[in-house]
Amino acid sequence: MASTTAPSPATKIPSAKPKSDKKLSDKTLKERAFRWDKLGAWLAAFFTLAAVVGLWALSRFKIDGYGRTGGDTVVGYILGGLTLILYGAVAAYSWRHKKRAQKRGMTRVWMEVHLAFGMVAGVSALLHSGPKLGAPIHGAFLIAWELLIITGIVGKLISVNVPRRLTRIEDEALLAEDVAERQKAMRLEIEQLLVDCNETLVNIVNVTIPSKIKAPAWYGKRRMKRGEVVEDVYKAIDGDGLIAKGAVPADKKDWLKRMVTCLVEEEFLDKMMTYHYVLRAWLPVHVALTTLCFPWLIFHVVTVFLI
């Protein structure tokens, strides 16, 4: 690894890819083996989805006809009831998840059940309604419900992709707390390097250098070799030219190189922090929508039957 700062091993998230299969524990090998229970969960969800679409098609093309599908038909009631059951099954993951210390083995299967049946719940609610929004209070509920499903799907994509992007910046992804610590350390060093600097130097540090630092991905595979990135930025600001012109004193060449190093590192850490925010931000929205939809579901059922 060619990063410029060397965090202690204790601050790193363990690497996802063990280097040698010899070192894999029994548990890891078991996890790598083909998962029949995973396949079972997705197959069951697929058949449920086929039944949901089939029932709706029956209502639309045989029993009720165009424009008459909806919550108050026989198929509508079945799909509404099924959505209610799916909500219970999918939300049970949350409860299971909290108990994972006791029932570790189940968590991964429940996660698959959560993903697969959660998506089916999105389709069955949509087809239950017609699909149509109907009265505003029902329509708003359907929108909230679909947002719950969409945040789940987006969250799954985020939780798969963002850790990969993190490890492309630092070969072993740092925890958010460690990124914050390193950001603080970098800022402190930059502030110290700036002590007693004239306005021209401050301007070089605040404007010239940052304007030439690109996003980590821009550097391709070289982004892991920080030394090469620093050289790139040093060339882009024409560091030697700045010295030759006297904008930077000749005895400050090492200072300039170190400053570029710190600013590059700071930029990359900022990017990592953004990824960490994205990683954390979606789940509270997903959980808030879950919480919102529960009383709304009860309210919906009560209102459609009683009011």
**Footprint on this chain of ligand HEM (rule: CB under 6 A):** 70-72, 77, 80-81, 83-84, 87, 90-91, 94, 97-98, 114-115, 118-119, 121, 125, 128-130, 132-135, 138-139, 141-142, 145, 148-149, 152-153, 155-156, 159, 283, 286-287, 290, 297, 300-301, 304
CB contact at 8 A, 217 and 209: no
* Nearest-approach distance from CB 130 to ligand HEM, in angstroms: 5
- Beta-bridge partner residues of 174: 12
* Nearest-approach distance from CB 108 to ligand HEM, in angstroms: 10
* Nearest-approach distance from CB 155 to ligand HEM, in angstroms: 5
Count of CB atoms within 10 A of residue 174's CB? 22
Main-chain phi, psi angles of 215, to 5 degrees: -65, 150
84 versus 243: smaller Cβ distance to ligand HEM: 84
Tokens (6 digits) for 61: 């093309």
* Nearest-approach distance from CB 149 to ligand HEM, in angstroms: 5
70 versus 216: smaller Cβ distance to ligand HEM: 70
276 versus 300: smaller Cβ distance to ligand HEM: 300
Cα within 13 Å of Cα(47), Cβ side: 5
* Nearest-approach distance from CB 280 to ligand HEM, in angstroms: 11
218 versus 277: smaller Cβ distance to ligand HEM: 277
70 versus 239: smaller Cβ distance to ligand HEM: 70
* Nearest-approach distance from CB 175 to ligand HEM, in angstroms: 16
Tokens (6 digits) for 306: 């009683």
90 versus 237: smaller Cβ distance to ligand HEM: 90
Which amino acid, residue 86?
A: L
